[in-house]
A = this chain, B = another copy of it.
Amino acid sequence: MVTINDIADLAGVSRTTVSRVLNSSGYVSEKARKKVLKVIEQTGYVPSEHAKSLRTKKTKVIGVLLPKVSTETISRIVEGIEYVLSENGYHILLASANLVAAKELEHLQLLQSRRVEGIILVATNTNDELVKMIQSLTIPVTALGQDIPGVSCVLYKDYEAAYDVVSLLIKKGHTRIGFIGVDEADPAVGIERKKAYYDCMKEAGLEVEEGWVQKGVFNIDSGAAAMERMLIKSDRQPTAVFAVTDRLAVGAMQTLKQEGVAVPDTMSVMSIGASDLSEYVTPPLATVNYFHEKAGRETAKLMLTQIRTKGASIKKISMDYRLIERDSLL
Protein backbone atom coordinates (compact mmCIF):
# COMPACT_ATOMS: atom_id res chain seq x y z
CA MET A 1 0.00 0.00 0.00
CA VAL A 2 1.50 3.30 -1.05
CA THR A 3 1.57 5.98 1.64
CA ILE A 4 2.04 9.69 1.86
CA ASN A 5 5.74 9.12 2.54
CA ASP A 6 6.19 7.29 -0.73
CA ILE A 7 4.57 10.15 -2.56
CA ALA A 8 6.76 12.65 -0.76
CA ASP A 9 9.90 10.73 -1.64
CA LEU A 10 8.97 10.22 -5.27
CA ALA A 11 8.00 13.84 -5.67
CA GLY A 12 11.07 15.01 -3.84
CA VAL A 13 9.15 17.05 -1.27
CA SER A 14 8.20 16.58 2.37
CA ARG A 15 5.02 14.81 3.31
CA THR A 16 3.71 18.07 4.70
CA THR A 17 3.71 19.43 1.21
CA VAL A 18 1.90 16.39 -0.05
CA SER A 19 -0.64 16.80 2.71
CA ARG A 20 -1.10 20.41 1.65
CA VAL A 21 -1.91 19.57 -1.93
CA LEU A 22 -4.17 16.76 -0.77
CA ASN A 23 -6.19 19.11 1.37
CA SER A 24 -5.66 22.29 -0.64
CA SER A 25 -4.53 23.99 2.53
CA GLY A 26 -1.63 26.40 2.97
CA TYR A 27 0.74 27.52 0.25
CA VAL A 28 2.21 25.18 -2.32
CA SER A 29 4.10 26.31 -5.40
CA GLU A 30 2.55 25.41 -8.72
CA LYS A 31 5.59 23.40 -9.55
CA ALA A 32 5.50 21.30 -6.41
CA ARG A 33 1.77 20.79 -6.69
CA LYS A 34 2.06 19.59 -10.29
CA LYS A 35 4.80 17.20 -9.39
CA VAL A 36 2.92 15.76 -6.45
CA LEU A 37 -0.28 15.40 -8.43
CA LYS A 38 1.60 13.58 -11.13
CA VAL A 39 3.15 11.12 -8.72
CA ILE A 40 -0.21 10.50 -7.10
CA GLU A 41 -1.68 9.83 -10.51
CA GLN A 42 1.07 7.41 -11.43
CA THR A 43 1.01 5.45 -8.22
CA GLY A 44 -2.75 5.37 -7.80
CA TYR A 45 -2.28 6.57 -4.26
CA VAL A 46 -5.42 6.89 -2.16
CA PRO A 47 -4.98 8.61 1.22
CA SER A 48 -6.04 6.67 4.28
CA GLU A 49 -9.06 8.16 5.96
CA HIS A 50 -8.19 6.02 8.93
CA ALA A 51 -4.90 7.68 9.61
CA LYS A 52 -6.44 11.02 8.84
CA SER A 53 -9.26 10.66 11.29
CA LEU A 54 -6.93 9.42 13.95
CA ARG A 55 -5.49 12.92 13.87
CA THR A 56 -8.50 14.99 13.05
CA LYS A 57 -11.02 13.14 15.20
CA LYS A 58 -13.45 13.26 12.34
CA THR A 59 -14.48 10.11 10.55
CA LYS A 60 -17.29 11.39 8.37
CA VAL A 61 -19.14 8.20 9.10
CA ILE A 62 -22.58 7.85 10.63
CA GLY A 63 -23.76 4.59 12.09
CA VAL A 64 -27.23 3.51 11.04
CA LEU A 65 -28.82 0.91 13.27
CA LEU A 66 -31.76 -0.90 11.74
CA PRO A 67 -34.19 -3.42 13.20
CA LYS A 68 -34.02 -5.29 9.90
CA VAL A 69 -32.79 -4.53 6.42
CA SER A 70 -35.31 -5.80 3.97
CA THR A 71 -38.64 -4.21 4.55
CA GLU A 72 -40.13 -1.71 2.20
CA THR A 73 -40.49 0.87 4.94
CA ILE A 74 -36.93 0.56 6.09
CA SER A 75 -35.33 0.50 2.68
CA ARG A 76 -37.14 3.72 1.86
CA ILE A 77 -35.95 5.28 5.06
CA VAL A 78 -32.38 4.23 4.35
CA GLU A 79 -32.68 5.61 0.84
CA GLY A 80 -33.50 8.99 2.32
CA ILE A 81 -30.75 8.83 4.91
CA GLU A 82 -28.19 7.80 2.35
CA TYR A 83 -29.19 10.58 0.03
CA VAL A 84 -28.62 13.37 2.51
CA LEU A 85 -25.57 11.87 4.13
CA SER A 86 -23.69 11.12 0.94
CA GLU A 87 -24.51 14.56 -0.37
CA ASN A 88 -22.70 15.91 2.65
CA GLY A 89 -19.66 13.72 2.34
CA TYR A 90 -20.70 11.22 4.98
CA HIS A 91 -20.70 7.49 4.72
CA ILE A 92 -23.05 5.01 6.36
CA LEU A 93 -21.85 2.19 8.54
CA LEU A 94 -24.73 -0.25 8.52
CA ALA A 95 -25.84 -2.42 11.39
CA SER A 96 -28.93 -4.56 11.59
CA ALA A 97 -30.34 -6.08 14.73
CA ASN A 98 -32.28 -8.62 12.69
CA LEU A 99 -35.12 -8.19 15.16
CA VAL A 100 -33.00 -9.38 18.06
CA ALA A 101 -33.15 -6.73 20.77
CA ALA A 102 -29.86 -7.76 22.36
CA LYS A 103 -28.06 -7.16 19.11
CA GLU A 104 -29.00 -3.51 19.19
CA LEU A 105 -26.93 -3.00 22.30
CA GLU A 106 -24.03 -4.94 20.88
CA HIS A 107 -24.09 -2.95 17.65
CA LEU A 108 -24.28 0.32 19.51
CA GLN A 109 -20.99 -0.61 21.12
CA LEU A 110 -19.43 -1.69 17.85
CA LEU A 111 -20.45 1.50 16.12
CA GLN A 112 -18.84 3.48 18.89
CA SER A 113 -15.63 1.54 18.55
CA ARG A 114 -15.61 2.50 14.91
CA ARG A 115 -15.76 6.10 16.02
CA VAL A 116 -18.84 7.03 14.05
CA GLU A 117 -19.67 10.69 14.51
CA GLY A 118 -23.29 9.96 15.25
CA ILE A 119 -25.83 7.17 15.31
CA ILE A 120 -29.18 7.08 13.59
CA LEU A 121 -31.50 4.62 15.22
CA VAL A 122 -34.46 3.33 13.29
CA ALA A 123 -36.50 2.23 16.24
CA THR A 124 -39.27 -0.27 16.73
CA ASN A 125 -39.12 -0.41 20.48
CA THR A 126 -38.23 1.72 23.46
CA ASN A 127 -36.87 -1.03 25.59
CA ASP A 128 -35.35 0.26 28.83
CA GLU A 129 -31.85 -1.02 28.34
CA LEU A 130 -31.70 0.44 24.85
CA VAL A 131 -32.90 3.82 26.02
CA LYS A 132 -30.46 3.88 28.88
CA MET A 133 -27.55 2.99 26.67
CA ILE A 134 -28.59 5.53 24.04
CA GLN A 135 -28.81 8.26 26.60
CA SER A 136 -25.39 7.45 27.97
CA LEU A 137 -23.69 7.89 24.61
CA THR A 138 -21.49 10.90 24.17
CA ILE A 139 -22.02 11.12 20.41
CA PRO A 140 -25.22 12.52 18.90
CA VAL A 141 -28.08 10.11 18.40
CA THR A 142 -31.18 10.62 16.30
CA ALA A 143 -34.07 8.22 16.46
CA LEU A 144 -36.68 7.61 13.83
CA GLY A 145 -40.11 6.18 14.49
CA GLN A 146 -40.26 6.11 18.27
CA ASP A 147 -40.16 8.86 20.83
CA ILE A 148 -37.10 8.23 22.94
CA PRO A 149 -36.77 10.57 25.90
CA GLY A 150 -33.71 12.79 25.81
CA VAL A 151 -32.78 12.23 22.18
CA SER A 152 -33.72 14.04 19.00
CA CYS A 153 -36.40 12.20 17.09
CA VAL A 154 -38.24 12.21 13.83
CA LEU A 155 -41.72 10.93 14.54
CA TYR A 156 -44.74 9.86 12.61
CA LYS A 157 -48.09 11.20 13.75
CA ASP A 158 -49.34 7.78 14.67
CA TYR A 159 -52.13 8.90 16.93
CA GLU A 160 -53.46 11.55 14.57
CA ALA A 161 -53.19 9.38 11.49
CA ALA A 162 -54.96 6.46 13.12
CA TYR A 163 -57.60 8.80 14.52
CA ASP A 164 -58.16 10.22 11.04
CA VAL A 165 -58.54 6.74 9.59
CA VAL A 166 -61.19 5.74 12.09
CA SER A 167 -62.91 9.12 11.74
CA LEU A 168 -63.10 8.67 8.02
CA LEU A 169 -64.59 5.23 8.43
CA ILE A 170 -67.19 6.68 10.78
CA LYS A 171 -67.90 9.55 8.44
CA LYS A 172 -68.57 7.03 5.71
CA GLY A 173 -71.34 5.69 7.91
CA HIS A 174 -69.63 2.74 9.58
CA THR A 175 -70.54 2.07 13.17
CA ARG A 176 -69.12 -1.42 13.66
CA ILE A 177 -65.39 -1.09 13.10
CA GLY A 178 -62.81 -3.79 13.73
CA PHE A 179 -59.16 -3.28 14.57
CA ILE A 180 -56.03 -5.30 13.88
CA GLY A 181 -53.07 -4.09 15.89
CA VAL A 182 -49.66 -5.27 17.01
CA ASP A 183 -47.86 -5.83 20.27
CA GLU A 184 -47.30 -2.90 22.58
CA ALA A 185 -43.56 -3.49 22.61
CA ASP A 186 -43.65 -1.15 19.64
CA PRO A 187 -45.25 1.91 21.23
CA ALA A 188 -45.72 3.94 18.04
CA VAL A 189 -47.58 1.22 16.21
CA GLY A 190 -48.81 -0.94 19.06
CA ILE A 191 -50.01 1.69 21.52
CA GLU A 192 -50.62 5.00 19.78
CA ARG A 193 -52.62 3.62 16.90
CA LYS A 194 -54.72 1.47 19.17
CA LYS A 195 -55.39 4.31 21.57
CA ALA A 196 -56.53 6.47 18.68
CA TYR A 197 -58.92 3.74 17.59
CA TYR A 198 -60.48 3.42 21.01
CA ASP A 199 -60.62 7.17 21.57
CA CYS A 200 -62.20 7.87 18.25
CA MET A 201 -64.83 5.18 18.68
CA LYS A 202 -65.61 6.42 22.14
CA GLU A 203 -65.89 10.04 21.12
CA ALA A 204 -68.27 9.04 18.35
CA GLY A 205 -70.34 7.20 20.90
CA LEU A 206 -69.66 3.84 19.27
CA GLU A 207 -69.20 0.57 21.05
CA VAL A 208 -66.26 -1.76 20.58
CA GLU A 209 -67.00 -5.45 20.78
CA GLU A 210 -64.23 -7.59 22.19
CA GLY A 211 -63.94 -9.81 19.14
CA TRP A 212 -63.39 -6.79 16.94
CA VAL A 213 -59.98 -6.10 18.34
CA GLN A 214 -57.28 -8.50 17.22
CA LYS A 215 -53.52 -8.54 17.35
CA GLY A 216 -50.98 -9.73 14.81
CA VAL A 217 -47.34 -9.34 13.89
CA PHE A 218 -45.82 -7.48 10.95
CA ASN A 219 -46.68 -9.80 8.11
CA ILE A 220 -49.42 -10.79 5.75
CA ASP A 221 -50.24 -14.23 7.11
CA SER A 222 -50.69 -12.82 10.54
CA GLY A 223 -53.21 -10.33 9.17
CA ALA A 224 -55.10 -13.17 7.58
CA ALA A 225 -55.19 -15.09 10.85
CA ALA A 226 -56.33 -12.04 12.79
CA MET A 227 -59.17 -11.49 10.37
CA GLU A 228 -60.24 -15.09 10.72
CA ARG A 229 -60.43 -14.73 14.46
CA MET A 230 -62.38 -11.52 14.12
CA LEU A 231 -64.93 -13.16 11.85
CA ILE A 232 -65.39 -16.06 14.23
CA LYS A 233 -65.43 -14.20 17.49
CA SER A 234 -67.63 -11.26 16.65
CA ASP A 235 -71.26 -11.30 17.76
CA ARG A 236 -72.12 -8.70 15.19
CA GLN A 237 -69.78 -8.62 12.21
CA PRO A 238 -68.00 -5.31 11.65
CA THR A 239 -68.62 -3.48 8.38
CA ALA A 240 -65.14 -2.01 8.35
CA VAL A 241 -61.72 -2.89 9.66
CA PHE A 242 -58.67 -0.81 10.38
CA ALA A 243 -55.36 -2.68 10.27
CA VAL A 244 -52.35 -0.81 11.57
CA THR A 245 -50.10 -1.83 8.68
CA ASP A 246 -50.62 -2.51 5.01
CA ARG A 247 -49.39 -6.06 5.22
CA LEU A 248 -51.81 -6.84 8.00
CA ALA A 249 -54.58 -5.33 5.86
CA VAL A 250 -53.55 -7.31 2.80
CA GLY A 251 -53.68 -10.45 4.88
CA ALA A 252 -57.11 -9.50 6.16
CA MET A 253 -58.31 -9.00 2.62
CA GLN A 254 -57.05 -12.46 1.71
CA THR A 255 -59.20 -13.98 4.42
CA LEU A 256 -62.15 -11.88 3.44
CA LYS A 257 -61.88 -12.96 -0.17
CA GLN A 258 -61.57 -16.56 0.89
CA GLU A 259 -64.59 -16.35 3.17
CA GLY A 260 -66.67 -14.69 0.49
CA VAL A 261 -66.94 -11.39 2.30
CA ALA A 262 -66.91 -8.73 -0.40
CA VAL A 263 -64.51 -5.80 -0.07
CA PRO A 264 -65.61 -3.06 0.04
CA ASP A 265 -69.30 -3.95 -0.36
CA THR A 266 -69.75 -5.72 2.92
CA MET A 267 -66.45 -4.83 4.56
CA SER A 268 -64.30 -1.76 4.11
CA VAL A 269 -60.58 -2.05 4.84
CA MET A 270 -58.10 0.67 5.72
CA SER A 271 -54.55 0.72 6.96
CA ILE A 272 -51.39 2.75 7.33
CA GLY A 273 -48.31 2.49 5.15
CA ALA A 274 -48.94 3.21 1.49
CA SER A 275 -46.68 0.37 0.44
CA ASP A 276 -46.40 -0.64 -3.19
CA LEU A 277 -48.48 -3.63 -2.33
CA SER A 278 -51.39 -1.49 -1.21
CA GLU A 279 -51.66 0.13 -4.59
CA TYR A 280 -51.74 -2.98 -6.72
CA VAL A 281 -53.71 -5.36 -4.60
CA THR A 282 -57.36 -5.90 -5.55
CA PRO A 283 -59.23 -3.84 -4.62
CA PRO A 284 -56.62 -1.14 -4.08
CA LEU A 285 -56.21 -0.52 -0.40
CA ALA A 286 -57.14 2.76 1.25
CA THR A 287 -54.20 3.70 3.43
CA VAL A 288 -52.05 6.48 4.83
CA ASN A 289 -48.86 7.66 3.20
CA TYR A 290 -46.11 8.25 5.75
CA PHE A 291 -43.43 9.52 3.37
CA HIS A 292 -40.70 7.28 4.70
CA GLU A 293 -37.98 8.47 2.39
CA LYS A 294 -38.59 12.02 3.46
CA ALA A 295 -38.53 10.91 7.08
CA GLY A 296 -35.15 9.38 6.41
CA ARG A 297 -33.91 12.59 4.90
CA GLU A 298 -35.17 14.64 7.83
CA THR A 299 -33.49 12.31 10.27
CA ALA A 300 -30.19 12.62 8.46
CA LYS A 301 -30.49 16.40 8.38
CA LEU A 302 -31.25 16.48 12.07
CA MET A 303 -28.15 14.39 12.68
CA LEU A 304 -26.02 16.70 10.59
CA THR A 305 -27.13 19.80 12.47
CA GLN A 306 -26.49 18.03 15.75
CA ILE A 307 -22.98 17.22 14.67
CA ARG A 308 -22.33 20.70 13.38
CA THR A 309 -23.74 22.79 16.18
CA LYS A 310 -22.17 21.70 19.41
CA GLY A 311 -24.64 21.41 22.21
CA ALA A 312 -27.69 21.74 20.00
CA SER A 313 -30.84 21.20 22.00
CA ILE A 314 -32.75 18.04 21.30
CA LYS A 315 -35.53 18.33 18.79
CA LYS A 316 -38.65 16.37 18.01
CA ILE A 317 -39.85 16.58 14.43
CA SER A 318 -43.28 15.36 13.40
CA MET A 319 -43.77 14.09 9.89
CA ASP A 320 -46.89 14.90 7.95
CA TYR A 321 -49.00 12.18 6.45
CA ARG A 322 -51.70 11.89 3.86
CA LEU A 323 -54.84 9.77 3.71
CA ILE A 324 -55.26 7.92 0.46
CA GLU A 325 -58.80 6.87 -0.30
CA ARG A 326 -58.95 3.85 -2.54
CA ASP A 327 -61.49 1.24 -3.53
CA SER A 328 -61.23 -0.87 -0.40
CA LEU A 329 -63.16 1.88 1.30
CA LEU A 330 -66.89 2.41 0.89
Contact = CB atoms under 8 A, between A and B. Distances in A.
Interface of A: 1, 44, 46-51, 53-54, 57, 59, 61, 64, 68-72, 74-76, 78-79, 82-83, 86, 91-96, 98, 109-110, 112-115, 136, 138, 220, 250, 254, 276-277, 280-282, 293
- How many copies the complex holds: the figure is 2
A50 B96 contact: no
A50 B54 contact: yes
A78 B70 CA distance: 8
A138 to B, nearest CB: 8
Given A70-B79, A86-B96, 12 more contacts: A47-B113, A48-B113, A48-B115, A64-B94, A72-B75, A78-B94, A82-B94, A91-B95, A92-B94, A94-B94, A277-B277, A281-B281
Contact of A136 (B44, B49, B95): B44
Contact of A112 (B46, B82, B113, B277): B46
Given A79-B68, A82-B69, A250-B280, A114 B293 contact: no
Query: Quick one: which of A78, A109, A114 has the most chain B CB within 10 A?
Result: A114
26 contacts: A1-B57, A1-B138, A48-B113, A49-B114, A49-B115, A50-B114, A51-B54, A61-B114, A68-B79, A70-B75, A70-B78, A72-B72, A74-B75, A75-B75, A78-B94, A79-B96, A83-B98, A91-B93, A92-B93, A92-B94, A93-B93, A220-B280, A250-B280, A254-B280, A277-B277, A280-B281
Nearest to A81: B69
Nearest to A78: B69
A70 B292 CA distance: 11
A23 to B, nearest CB: 13
Contacts of A76: 70
A329 to B, nearest CB: 18
A91 B114 contact: yes
Contacts of A277: 276-277, 280
10 tightest A-B CB contacts, nearest first: A282-B282, A70-B79, A75-B75, A70-B75, A69-B79, A92-B94, A46-B112, A49-B113, A70-B76, A46-B113
Nearest to A108: B46
A249 B82 CA distance: 29
Query: Quick one: which of A70, A71, A254, A276 has the most chain B CB within 10 A?
Result: A70
A287 B253 CA distance: 22
Contacts of A281: 280-282
Contacts of A86: 95-96
Contacts of A79: 68-70, 96
